[in-house]
């Protein structure tokens, strides 16, 4: 009889999630059915997207039901298998839940991972996981920036933003990042190789727009938006003709009513495009992305940072760090 | 010595334009230089876009200078020519000014027009003019809707919207229009052949979104946006997966601070695209568009409406009708 600790949704959060919205529950792992395998989760990925899955309507995924464990990408080891393609002892990644044990069925995002190809298995939750794939397909498919073009990244010191900047640089583009605070801005330049960094703190749309204009005198060809709000509105005021604004996330509005963007008029003035994308659109190309990102990370061609919090008890504090910006790298929760 | 009456910008409007923002001035037509020709303007097109050209920063065109006549598309007859390609007596269309006489140089939008191919020369300011070209390239190039797809048009009873709806119908799409008031909604169905009409008056985003959801149960594949504000936000809540939102205009915010759109988050959820376009992108394809629209109109395959106000004294009242929605068809000012 195996006990399964689970980070369970008790109530739908209003605004910033709080303690009483969750319960740490204990279930018994049910017997495996034919076609299933049991995963011992080692790490869970704590992503901004989780916040959206807690809303009553969900977002691009159905809402997490009250009383169920919170959905998250995890990596772990198969303990038992009644599935022909998965065997005990094998490492796997998948979209599971924040819990000790998940049942795998080999569908959707679930796939075996080669932990020897990367510095640490956690790479499959960061540089070679969902955030890495988000950056890979965002740069290599959605944007495809080239030399002579400028890419503006908001949330640039974040898990996705820092990778987007490095991938765009590798294609020869000029990369400008927006981040919160002098320390993160220094990290953009020193560690991630951005050409220029802009600190958004304490700035309204006008001031931020002036900073972007100074950093991007010929306008911005690509905006890679993780934040929304003032960052997005300021970026919209600095588009080059025919620019592409890619919406990866809008973290500034996840805990409040949607703000949207005031300056979409600029899409007309600059005959520009704003486009949202999800990595689920690239499911059939996941192996390409995982392999490419693992290789780049293994060679040291791109750097990445992980912020590991220890223990399922820290699931909520880990999530809250995403929204106060106090994480330094991809937020990962260690479960074992 | 030829006197030229001109509808001249005296002050930059704050909000809705008013009498004191303009002056009716009289100049003397200067002698023609080599390469120039003199156009006697017969009609001027009064378009929502003009409002943007009066702003200090202009929009996609430089601002109209204080003391200069207001920019507008016109049609007229060449009276004198020192240009090899234009001869006296010839009808031309071009981006000129609201004035009795304009100097043509044969550049930009200026081109000869065949007034015998259309029911009235004014067709070149409506169905075969800028609004017709806007609809043509918006449907035939930007959207390209097909059978089985739904197109939602805001400002659907307007000059562009009514043509967009008809062109989309000709391609086999289902077309739903949003307009203000029962009379305009009836016109959408009875005259322009829309499949369904939604009256936006007195409705907030939620109510409007419910109406759109009822009219488009499988979601909206294309939004053709002329209005912005609540119309756009409600449309964004009803996108089909992979939808395209085309921004043609945002008339609801031309006389106020930009509102933008709150629900751009939906672009991510629905992996959708929002795109602005201008007919100036299609300058080299103008003859194709003019010929196609003139032919459709000549055959009666599409219907169009013109609202002609008489006399340069009525330039401002004509412009204001665009914003209170009291025009019934493309607003045209008769100058002679």
Instruction: Let me know: does B322 contact B331? Beta carbons within 8 Å.
Output: yes
- B299 occurs within a structural domain: no
- B291 occurs within a structural domain: no
Mean pLDDT within A162-186: 97
pLDDT band at B43 (very low <50, low <70, confident <90, very high): very high
Mean pLDDT within B166-184: 97
For testing the chain A interface, which of B63, B134, B247, B278 should be mutated: the one with the most A CBs within 10 Å? B247
A281 touches chain B (CB under 8 A): yes
Report pLDDT for A258.
84
Report pLDDT for A1.
80
- End of a domain among A248, A279, A310? A279
Relative to beta strand B330-334, strand B306-310 is parallel
Report pLDDT for B263.
96
Residue A120's Cβ-count burial label (10 Å; 0-12, 13-18, 19+) is middle
Instruction: For chain B, report the end-to-end CA distance as a whole number of angstroms.
Output: 18
Is residue A108 predicted with pLDDT exceeding 80? no
> pLDDT (tens digit, 9 = 90+) per residue, A282-334?
989 988 999 999 999 989 999 999 999 999 999 999 999 999 988 888 999 99
Residues of B in contact with A275 (CB under 8 A): 267, 272-274
With residues binned 3-state (H G I as helix, E B as strand, rest as coil), the percentages for chain A, rounded to 5, are 35, 30, 40
Same domain, A135 and A112: no
Same domain, A106 and A155: no
Write down the mean pLDDT value for chain B: 95
DSSP reduced 3-state for A88: coil
Determine the Cα–Cα distance for residues B151 and B194; give it in Å rounded to an integer: 10
Mean pLDDT within A186-190: 98
Mean pLDDT within A224-251: 96
Residues of A in contact with B276 (CB under 8 A): 266-273
Write down the mean pLDDT value for chain A: 95
DSSP reduced 3-state for A282: helix
Give me the CATH number covering residue A175. 3.40.50.720
Report pLDDT for B334.
98
> pLDDT (tens digit, 9 = 90+) per residue, B18-35?
999 999 999 999 999 999
Same domain, B73 and B110: yes
Å between A309 CA and nearest CA of chain B: 29
Is residue B91 predicted with pLDDT exceeding 90? yes
Angle between helical axes of A286-298 and A130-137 (0-180°, round to 10) = 100
Is residue B282 predicted with pLDDT exceeding 90? yes
B47 vs B1: which has the higher pLDDT:
B47
- A236 occurs within a structural domain: yes
Same domain, A151 and A268: yes
pLDDT band at B312 (very low <50, low <70, confident <90, very high): very high
Give the torsion through C-alpha atoms of A328, A213, A221, B228, to 10 deg. Answer: 100
Quickly list DSSP for B53-67: HTSTT-SSSPPPPTT
Mean pLDDT within A153-174: 97
Same domain, A83 and A137: no
- B68 occurs within a structural domain: yes
With residues binned 3-state (H G I as helix, E B as strand, rest as coil), the percentages for chain B, rounded to 5, are 35, 30, 40
Report pLDDT for B327.
85
Same domain, A109 and A136: no
Report pLDDT for A254.
79
Mean pLDDT within B254-268: 90
- End of a domain among B244, B262, B279? B279
Mean pLDDT within B238-256: 92
Number of domains in chain B: 2
pLDDT band at A201 (very low <50, low <70, confident <90, very high): very high
Same domain, A45 and A148: no
Same domain, B177 and B309: no
Same domain, A322 and A272: no
Helices (H) and strands (E) in chain B, counts: 9, 15
Report pLDDT for A255.
81
ipTM of the modeled complex = 0.89
B115 touches chain A (CB under 8 A): no
Report pLDDT for B197.
98
Mean pLDDT within A19-31: 96
Å between A271 CA and nearest CA of chain B: 5
pLDDT band at B154 (very low <50, low <70, confident <90, very high): very high
Report pLDDT for B257.
81
Mean pLDDT within B43-49: 94
Structure token digits, residue A66: 């009250």
- A295 occurs within a structural domain: no
Which residues share a beta bridge with A142?
A: none
- End of a domain among B264, B279, B294? B279
> pLDDT (tens digit, 9 = 90+) per residue, B73-90?
999 999 999 999 999 999
Is residue B325 predicted with pLDDT exceeding 90? no
Same domain, A36 and A112: yes
Mean pLDDT within A222-248: 97
Is residue A60 predicted with pLDDT exceeding 90? no
Is residue B326 predicted with pLDDT exceeding 90? no
Quickly list DSSP for A180-215: SSHHHHHHHHHTT--SEEEE-TT--HHHHHHHHHHH
Which residues share a beta bridge with A330?
A: A306
- B296 occurs within a structural domain: no
Mean pLDDT within A174-203: 97
Same domain, B35 and B168: no
* Residue in chain B nearest A260 by alpha carbon: B262
Same domain, A11 and A40: yes
Report pLDDT for A256.
81
Phi, psi of B148 (to 5 degrees): 90, -5
Give me the CATH number covering residue B59. 3.90.180.10
- Report CB contact under 8 Å: A265, B274: no
For testing the chain A interface, which of B276, B277, B280 should be mutated: the one with the most A CBs within 10 Å? B276
Instruction: Let me know: does A11 contact A21? Beta carbons within 8 Å.
Output: yes
- B87 occurs within a structural domain: yes
Instruction: Let me know: does A307 contact A331? Beta carbons within 8 Å.
Output: yes
B109 touches chain A (CB under 8 A): no
Domain that holds residue A161: 130-279
Å between B246 CA and nearest CA of chain A: 9
For testing the chain A interface, which of B53, B251, B265 should be mutated: the one with the most A CBs within 10 Å? B265
Determine the Cα–Cα distance for residues B325 and B310; give it in Å rounded to an integer: 18
- A292 occurs within a structural domain: no
């Amino acid at each position: 009889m195996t006990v399964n600790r689970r980070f369970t949704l008790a109530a739908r959060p209003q605004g910033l999630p709080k303690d009483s919205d969750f319960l740490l529950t204990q279930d018994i792992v049910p017997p495996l059915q034919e076609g299933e395998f049991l995963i011992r989760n080692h790490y869970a990925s704590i992503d901004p997207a989780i916040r959206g899955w807690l809303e009553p309507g969900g977002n691009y995924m159905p809402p997490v039901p009250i009383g169920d464990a919170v959905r998250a990408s995890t990596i772990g080891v198969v303990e038992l298998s009644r599935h022909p393609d998965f065997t005990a002892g094998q490492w796997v990644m998948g979209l599971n839940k924040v819990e000790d044990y998940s049942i795998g069925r080999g569908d959707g995002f679930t796939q075996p991972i080669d932990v020897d190809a990367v510095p640490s298995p956690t790479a499959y939750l960061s540089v070679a996981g969902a955030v890495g794939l988000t950056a890979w397909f965002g740069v290599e498919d959605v944007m495809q920036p080239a030399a002579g073009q400028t890419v503006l990244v908001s949330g640039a010191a974040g898990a996705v933003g820092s990778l987007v900047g490095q991938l765009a640089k590798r294609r020869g583009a000029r990369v400008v990042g927006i981040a919160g605070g002098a320390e993160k801005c220094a990290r953009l330049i020193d560690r991630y190789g951005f050409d220029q960094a802009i600190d958004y703190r304490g700035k309204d749309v006008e001031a931020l727009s002036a900073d972007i204009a100074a950093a991007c005198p010929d306008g911005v060809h690509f905006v890679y938006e993780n934040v929304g709000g003032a960052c997005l509105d300021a970026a919209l005021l600095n588009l080059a003709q025919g620019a592409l604004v890619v919406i990866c996330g809008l973290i500034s509005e996840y805990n409040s009513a949607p703000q949207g963007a005031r300056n979409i008029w600029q899409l007309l003035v600059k005959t520009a495009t704003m486009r949202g994308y999800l990595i689920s659109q690239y499911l059939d190309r996941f192996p390409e992305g995982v392999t490419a990102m693992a290789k780049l990370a293994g060679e040291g061609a791109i750097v990445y940072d992980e912020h590991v919090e220890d223990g399922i008890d820290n699931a909520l504090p880990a999530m809250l760090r995403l929204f106060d910006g106090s994480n330094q790298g991809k937020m990962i929760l260690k479960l074992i």
